[in-house]
Amino acid sequence: MNFGNRAPTIVVLKEGTDASQGRGQIISNINACIAVQETLKPTLGPLGSDILIVSSNKKTTISNDGATILKLLDVVHPAAKTLVDISRAQDAEVGDGTTSVTILAGELMKEAKPFLEEGISSHIIMKGYRKAVQLAIEKINELSVDITENKEDNRELLERCAKTAMTSKLIYNNADFFVKMCVDAVLSLDKDDLDEKLIGIKKIAGGAMEDSMFINGVAFEKTFSYAGFEQQPKKFENPKILSLNVELELKAEKDNAEVRVEHVEDYQAIVDAEWQIILTKLKEIEDTGASIVLSKLPIGDLATQYFADRNIFCAGRVATDDMNRVIQAVGGSIQSTTTDIKPEHLGTCELFEEIQIGSSRYNLFQGCPKAKTCTLLLRGGAEQVIAEVERSIHDAIMIVKRALQNKFVVAGGGAIEMEVSKYLRDYSKSIAGKQQLIINAFAKALEVIPRQLCENAGFDAVEMLNRLRMAHSKGERWYGIDFETESIGDNFSKFVWEPALVKINALSSATEATNLILSVDETIKNKESGSANAGMMPPPGAGRGRGMPMQ
């Protein structure tokens, strides 16, 4: 049989390679992302439910924080992993809105699906979405309110933002207590960089949530201690604090050393020399006038007893993080030698004490003059409860931080989404062609937030959305879901506020993720092998920047 000039079939991909491409592949990826969205939907809002996740090592986590859930779900689908990434990015950048961003991205993909099935090019949809998100962000910036105008009490404004962030969290019933704690924590930081890593969070099992404490300074658990420790004073007012990176232990020089002696006196001289070395160090520390000695390295029993006899408190093996925060709070600097320690190397605070909290003893440094750090001691009945309290506090702290840096806020409870949705619908009517449909689809996708809030609260979503659409068409720009009256209302006047940055970041991330999924029309899955794939040629189309390899 004559094939003419047709080239014979060339096998480029390794046997067992799975290559899928075309419109069906995009729809398949969208379906995977929608499955992730469906998992997170019930957790949205004040009346959202929590999810119990049991990991492979049988560790249980109860949470409704989107980023935490997605991280623990261990998503393997390469397209769905995009949602995990944007949720983590939202958590790192803004701290809150991790569930919203995932639900928005899933809804944007769901709205794009019918267009793809009808044969519209994914690039046209992407172009429409890009235009829509640009208009939406401009509208949010236009609507956002500068909360510092003509208002002196900045703290009250920050507390309102923090309380909104806590509405969907486990600690909502204790919100008034924790809101004050979060705002105190952020305001204690350096105003220039607001580094939230300097807010230490210690979890102590036992007690009620409201037994949690805010320490304007540093607190850390009592370190390993030797005999003589109990004789040391446990409370000081205005002490001098010396921070060291020096080991204060009596060590016989037997490691990797061989000493030959002929007389007992020679051996005694060696022992005396070892004692003399450490006693000299201890005398130099005593001469500095320090009342509290902290060291990253061990402080042995000889040194502990020496300090106890002279009414000096000591703690060895202090964790690096805790030591760094102590320096930030009390001043001074870490010394790596005991010689030539000057007064400016020492720090101070108003009050130091060691107290019992739960089953542990904690060292507290309070009233620190240079306090650019603080510590939150969280209490709770179960380990999972305290872990969720910590995640909730983190979200609220990040929101307060962003509100302090970016003074613009918008109303929550689905209000801003409905207003932007109305604006995009009106805009879409002013243009012709396919873009009209796509921008309208983007506007419809935004309604997923108020709709899901209603469904999770047990309200009639269809009725509520109709009432919201009517209110917004009459110019009620801040109308959203009101959970107290189980109706709709002006959320701005009820102080349901969120930083505009949260909404802008969520919309941008969700649209970017959607466009990324829409741009991938080919997936190549290689069977795991060593270097067999090293010289494999890429299949047709992979060089067009549209392939997404599966790991």
Contact present, 199 and 373 (Cβ < 8 Å): yes
Of 82, 98, 338, 511, which residue is the catalytic one?
Answer: 98
Q: Which two tokens stand for residue 433?
A: 């062609």
HEC per residue, 441-466 = HHHHHHCHHHHHHHHHHCCCHHHHHH
Compute the distance between CA of residue 366 and CA of residue 370 in angstroms, rounded to an integer.
11
Sheet with 145-146: list strands edge to edge. Answer: 145-146, 408-411, 497-499
* Calpha distance 548→539 (Å, rounded): 12
Alpha carbon 372 to its chain centroid, in Å, reads 20
Is 98 noted as a catalytic residue in this protein? yes
Q: Within 13 Å and on the Cβ side, how many CA atoms surround 96? A: 31
338, 395, 514, 521: the catalytic one is 395
Catalytic residue among 43, 68, 99, 304: 99
Helix (H) / strand (E) element for 146: namely strand 145-146
> Is 304 among the catalytic positions?
no
Question: Of the candidates 379, 455, 384, 394, which has an alpha carbon nearest to the alpha carbon of residue 166?
Answer: 394
The CA-based angle 470-475-478, given to 5 degrees, is 90
The single residue of 43, 50, 65, 68 carrying the catalytic annotation is: 65
State the DSSP H helix or E strand holding residue 96, giving kind and residue range, or none if neither.
none
Q: 3-class SS at 179?
A: helix
Question: d(Cα 226, Cα 530) in Å, to the nearest integer?
Answer: 54
Length of the chain, please?
551
Could you confirm whether 395 is annotated as catalytic? yes
The amino acid that residue 43 corresponds to is: T
Cβ-in-10-Å burial (0-12, 13-18, 19+) of 69 comes to buried
Catalytic annotation present for 99: yes
Q: Are residues 517 and 110 in contact, defined by beta-carbon separation less than 8 angstroms?
A: no
Tell which residue, 419, 411, 420, has the closest CA to residue 137.
Answer: 420
Q: How far apart are CA 378 and CA 382, in angstroms?
A: 11
- What is the rounded CA–CA span in Å between residue 403 and residue 502? 10
3-state DSSP assignment of residue 411: strand
Least Cα distance to 102 among 24, 161, 44, 169 occurs for: 44
CA distance linking residue 331 with residue 334, whole number of Å: 10
Tell me the catalytic residues.
65, 98-99, 395
